[in-house]
Chain A
């Protein structure tokens, strides 16, 4: 609205606020979506519809799958979509998927149930799927592997977080770095608080926009070659996690992890700025029965799926060939 129309707008009650964030699947029915486990999810499919589903799991929790999209692009003659069904899934309350006001739905249990239902939807005959998860998405993949190893033809864990809360405690006790350390004088924190005077976080649009203010500053020690994009962050999911409502007090995805006999590919960067990088992956590698750790020189936490996506695509392609999936 031009400035010259401000006065009429004020007099008339200007309530036609232009959207600051993209619409979700509820607001734009033309977006590709899947309804499972009582929610509506934004799911973009590429590649071969009849191929083995390769489900990409974004990090966070709270990020959407857009920043994993390079893993679906052809690179150096390697194209995962040439024979596979690539599934980019925005998890509950993230990206363009449905938003939920009930925070009790934004928990690890629900997200696990969502993935269970999505796999059932994509693979109703139980022929098997491949999971590729980054950071929190790697944890979710490990959780699925732990609970349903018979459904998984292959798993690619891209700088995954810890497979159990005990592992993280042991890592920190051994002198490992912590993921998030809040600096109460940080500009992003002051910016969020100050911004709340202009955009009250009474709905998901305002929340999702406002929480982006933290994106650059909340993990200042994580350095990447490029910043990866998002469609729309899941503010309520991030908020739930920040307030301690997402994870249970203790969790353990390793109870049956050793029962998965096949090779699992773990990809990590080796920069000291990545708290979930190669050192941490070596620390928790033995919880997998048959792991292969591939380290990408100079890659930061997000670089392994964005700036260095081409390397990861090649590693994944070679791995899936070894598994007989390709």
Chain B
């Protein structure tokens, strides 16, 4: 319940790299871009910290969409929470998230809803963070509607309905960030496994983000 609540109060995009203080409510709004399921997508994130005892809980909301070919049908909305295991500088943070991701292309329109499991381990200082970063995405349910074009030309079956697990990805990389006054600058990059026949080559992800705290 606390995780869900934290997710709901969070507003924003790329989750903070440097830990939000837990004793007083703090918030951050940030924007990010890079290479992440698209070339130069734009992410906007709002995050907040709940002063839960004994450890602070960070929640955030992120909206991400391709920037080069803007299309309201292509977007991902993520609701995430993260909590440190020990609340010490050298620490591990574990997180949970829910994501809705949609697309529309020549072949199908689709919406997936699924879960995120996140883990970070490293140094979480008051002004800077360097950590290893892992994230597992599973799309547990997907609504697919194939297009008339795909059925006519592509041999695709007429499908319109919910299907089960259709997607997963596993990220492993690193994140580094620093607070310069109220401004957080961070970079995150790594490898993303997306299946045996992945067409996104090289299978890397990377993003830079800038946020402001208030």
Contacts and interface: CB of A to CB of B under 8 A. Distances in A.
B166 A201 contact: no
Interface in B170-214: 194-201
Interface stretch (B18-26, B47-55, B118-126, B147-155): B147-155
B156 A199 contact: no
B12 interface: no
A230 interface: yes
A202 B150 contact: no
A194 B157 contact: no
Interface in B33-53: 37-39
A164 to B, nearest CB: 28
A105 interface: no
A66 interface: yes
B39 A184 contact: yes
Interface stretch (A32-40, A152-160, A185-193, A317-325): A185-193
A267 B108 CA distance: 35
A200 to B, nearest CB: 4
Interface residues of A, number: 60
B197 A18 contact: no
Given A19-B157, A21-B156, A199-B110, A190 B164 contact: no
A207 interface: yes
Nearest to B166: A199
A200 B110 contact: no
A207 B195 CA distance: 10
A215 B147 CA distance: 14
Given A199-B167, A200-B167, A229-B152, A1 B162 contact: yes
B144 interface: yes
A198 B166 contact: yes
A5 B198 CA distance: 31
A290 B177 CA distance: 69
A197 B155 contact: no
Interface string A60-76: 00000010000000000
A9 B106 contact: no
Given A201-B198, A232-B155, A195 B110 contact: yes
A194 B69 CA distance: 11
B76 interface: yes
A185 B39 contact: yes
B142 interface: yes
A228 to B, nearest CB: 8
A22 interface: yes
Interface residues of B, number: 51
Nearest to A15: B164
Contacts of B152: 229
Contact of B164 (A14, A101, A185, A213): A14
Contacts of A232: 155
A26 B107 CA distance: 25
A198 B162 contact: no
Contact of B197 (A191, A194, A235): A235
A236 B69 CA distance: 27
B193 to A, nearest CB: 9
B194 A200 contact: yes
B155 A21 contact: yes
Interface stretch (B2-10, B82-90, B133-141): B133-141
A195 B166 CA distance: 11
Interface string A213-243: 1011000000000011111110110010001
Nearest to A236: B197
A198 B167 contact: yes
B74 interface: yes
21 contacts: A3-B162, A9-B162, A14-B141, A16-B163, A18-B159, A188-B106, A190-B69, A194-B74, A195-B105, A196-B169, A198-B110, A200-B166, A202-B196, A203-B196, A209-B108, A211-B199, A212-B106, A212-B154, A212-B156, A229-B153, A235-B197
Interface of B: 37-39, 66, 68-69, 74, 76, 101-103, 105-108, 110-112, 137, 139-144, 146, 150, 152-157, 159, 161-169, 194-201
7 A-B pairs with least C-beta separation: A202-B195, A14-B164, A191-B105, A207-B197, A17-B163, A201-B197, A200-B167
